[in-house]
Structure 1
Amino acid sequence: MKIRLVHDGIFTTIDNINDTLLAPTHGFYWIDADIDDLIILQPLFGLHDLAVEDCLTEDEQRPKLEIYENQYFLVINSIRFDDEEIFLRALNIFLGPHYLITVTRQKINELRSVKPVLWEQEVSQPDSFLYHLVDIVVDNYFSVADRIEARIESLEEDILMHTKKSHLTEIIGLRSEILWLKKALGPQRELLATLNKKDLRLIDDKLQKYFGDIHENAVKINETFETYRDLMGNLREAYQSSLANRANEIMRVFTALTTIFMPLTFITGVYGMNFDFIPGMHYHYGSVILLGLMGLIGIGMFYLFRKKDWL
């Protein structure tokens, strides 16, 4: 657990948790805690039992806002895209009059990214901290969306150039990730709409309007992943079309080869019959002439097919 006094974006480390129970003269307290720290924090700050239970559960949490008497409890999902797999990690936030508590089960990059923003904006209020933190969390969805778009473009190029069976597995896997993520974005968008429109006494009215901009970004992200879902459908059609074209190409080659060998097979069939009176049968160079003729026929038909672009 890390305890910091934040004033004008400057961090001062606090060693004693009891010092955070009263409001500081300037600034606010930011307590960055782990799940195990809730045993200490719950009785000190009067954290609601249901909120603590939500933090402790290992099941995926739905983004939400719970309003209690002296504090708000928020759950928002941070996003990561590692090894072609999307992860959502719950960021639990307790917002009080003079403090903000973040509780996480895993490390979340946004908590590090927000520090220089707080210093640059000279933040001294917990609601302002909340705004910048949520803004960074939502902005990271755009970064993940860009990586997914790049992956779709790369996959499309690979399919058009060299279709493989593994491409279908990638398409199905990526499409499932996108559908799952789009489903998870719905509650988060509702949370941001609530922060924008609902009268919340712990959030300044002027600052509350800025949450409207974050909500618009969330809507754009939702529309972006809706587009990606359609693109994955088109990609699957391109894969199937590419397989069909490849099969047609193979069949065309086989058909051409079969056609080339048809006259050769006819000639060998005629001269393979048990008759004495076949032209050239007893000629000394008959076999050489026959093989040469068969070679000329095969080569001639091959170049004819190439000229007509059949091969």
Structure 2
Amino acid sequence: MRDGGTGSAPDGVPAVTLPGVVDRHVHLGLVDRALLADGPVTEVHDLGWDPPEVAAWAADPPSGVRVRYAGPFHTAPGGYPTGRPWAPDAAVRHVATPREAAAAVADVVAAGGFAVKVALHAGMALLPDDVLRALVDGAHAGGLLVLVHAEGDGQAQRAIDAGADTLVHVPWTEALPDAVIARAAHMTWISTFAIHDGPGRPIGLERALDNARRFVAAGGRLVYGTDMGNGPTPVGVNEREIELLGRLLEGEALRRAVLGPPSAPALEAPLPLPETATDLITWLRASRRLPHSPK
């Protein structure tokens, strides 16, 4: 049974069956991928790596895990994440003109990517508006989503107004005006709250939570993603990320944000249907994969 179905555990305790966890923002090149095998996370979306390398991981993933990928970061020459020690040269695609944008999108299609990842990072070189628009239009024409890393004043608004589909982080560097959030209501935002958690970073976390709260109220779709590989993030379920999402969502909305569709590989636990973040964490700790789930 799927998506809230009930069965029976061996000891007779009623069991609930739900889809596995989908982490919509990971960097598999920065973690021990094998640790994901046969756990509660059944799908991950790699959002920035060397295309042939990540395609090979998708073809031979950890047991029981589906890997989808966006290919490289598309950025201006010298833009983020150029020069970062964690980013291989092949994980960064420099785009200087609309013509280069069209070629870059074609390469993502050819490589089997599901989306075009775009970087707009203030303080480093930025894509001009015409190149940003060419990436968005080209991706949509090719049937791909546009996922944007937007950091710094005005960059989230640029992504929203250019027609991007997803912000890969809930904006945390500025409080977005309500009018901008209203224009973003058709979008998906990926949570990644926990990367801002910890000593010395409460302002960014509180900004992100406030932006997300108003985004959800405006009708936007908020989903679970951890930026796995960014610092000491756990490989698997990030319970702190679920706790922070639980400040904004509960019940079916929380389950939709964290878990996959009904068609996803299934988990089962001898516990009631989880309604809160605490419930969901407890449920996931107790869950097991059903025998018919893909391995």
Asked whether the two chains share a fold, i.e. TM above 0.5, the reply is: no
Question: Structure with the greater relative contact order (CA < 8 A, sep ≥ 6): 1 or 2?
Answer: 2
Structure with higher Rg: it is: 1
Normalising to structure 1: TM-score of the pair?
0.28
- Structure having the higher strand fraction is 2
- Structure having the higher helix fraction is 1
Normalising to structure 2: TM-score of the pair?
0.29
